[in-house]
Amino acid sequence: MIDLTAAEVADLTGGRLAAPPTTRVDGPTVIDSRTVSAGALFVALAGDTSDGHDHAAGAVADGAALVLASRELDGVPSVVVDDVPRALGLLAAEHLRRLRADGALQVVAVTGSVGKTTTKDLLGHVLSASGPTVMPRASFNNEIGLPLTVLQADTQTRYLVLEMGASAPGDLTYLTGIAPPDVSIVLAVGSAHLGGFGGIEGVARAKSEIVTGLAPGGVAVLNADDLRVVAMRDLAPGRVVTFGTVRDADLRATDVTIDRLGRVSCTVAAGERTERLSLRLVGEHHLTNALATLAAAVELGVDLTEAAALVGSSDPASPHRMAVTDRADGVTIIDDSYNANPDSMRAALKALAVVAGRDRRSVAVLGEMLELGPDSRDQHDEIGRLVVRLNIKLLVVVGAGASGLADGATQEGSWGKEVVEVEDVAAAERFLADELRSGDVVLVKSSNGSGLWRLGDSLTAVTA
């Protein structure tokens, strides 16, 4: 929460002051006029479907002290800038610099092609037990969400947890310029957003920006199981800590098992210490997120025993991410519909196969994976083939953009009624209402833009 005058906001952002210079901004920074409170800074963003400038006067009437805008607003106290997102970033950077002047606040940032939000949630759960912690809502991981998260911190904040996403080279350099991390975590280099990077090596270079952007004295926490990630140690300006299952990882998981509900247990070894870790989260891929959290938490001063207990007690904290619901009618829904790429699809399908086992029918309801570039068709084809190899009993493909899933499954050997294609979410809901029966285990997964999360909501809302 900032505490600045309108004149200071104008000076920091290079904007033109259109408000009394002594106007004090001492409330939250918001982009939704419905969340305004007294003393707030309302950031007027122009989007595809709405323009915050149209709501600026109403925001001030509801208590906002000042508006950050890109055009003149008659009668509205404002600072007018050329680039509102950039100005928001400048404010966040200065706010964090002032908070860090006392030396108590520590910043931990996480990136990776998969697992960012879950790891962010785990970190928030662990660190909040040791001191006041600020972390993003949902996936606030871009040039708008990250500054808004930074601006939530105050003088009492001990830990600032940040999720950093990238859709193109330079994105993480920009974000670390706003908030240089004391601890940077890289989870994985995978095939998300391939269209924006030109290939997997481009993804690796982009993710490495969170390492080169460390604060002085900062520590890079790297996944030793991912060769592209661990190679980033050569770019680190300071110390490197690794995690994983390989024998030379600094924090290593051994004796890994997975139960019939898809939950991982293992022994964690760090130096001379060992701890038993048992996760409540469903899916063996969460082991990477858990180990990353433990390694970062220890670097931030949390005892390993305490950190392992807190990670083990964590349930899914963000919606539509491997959230398991056992319905009254005997159907189990695994809702992982928030987002998808080939790596997370593989992990979720493996979890579906484990949870269903031999006694229950497995049903995969899959939509399109977006932003895969020219390889999109092949990537969907490969996932369709994996569905068959995992012996998933029924594949429901939602939308024309996901048709490669059906092609791959058919080419791999599915036939008859094992693959069903439907045109949209509504059609999928109608089909499943008649098709599902007691004992079924249903995975719902696709990229966020497909809207399949609405199906996840409707399936989990069934009460009988």
Element (H, E) at 387: helix 376-389
- pLDDT for the residue 194: 57
Q: Region 236-264: what's the mean pLDDT?
A: 96
pTM above 0.95, yes or no: no
- pLDDT for the residue 410: 96
Q: At what angle do helices 171-178 and 200-207 cross, to 10 degrees?
A: 10
Going by pLDDT thresholds of 50, 70 and 90, the confidence category of residue 356 is very high
Q: Region 63-84: what's the mean pLDDT?
A: 96
Going by pLDDT thresholds of 50, 70 and 90, the confidence category of residue 463 is low
pLDDT exceeds 70 at position 185: yes
Name residue 167's amino acid. Answer: S
Q: Return binding residues.
A: 112-118
Per the model's pLDDT, the better-predicted residue between 203 and 266 turns out to be 266
The residue length of the chain stands at 464
- Highest mean pLDDT pick, 336-340, 368-372, 418-422: 418-422
Distance CA 255, CA 264 (A): 10
R_g over Cα of the chain? 23
Residue 169 CA: distances (Å) to CA of 32, 106, 175, 210, 398? 29, 26, 12, 11, 31
> Where do we find the tokens 């950031």?
43
Q: Return binding residues for ATP.
A: 112-118
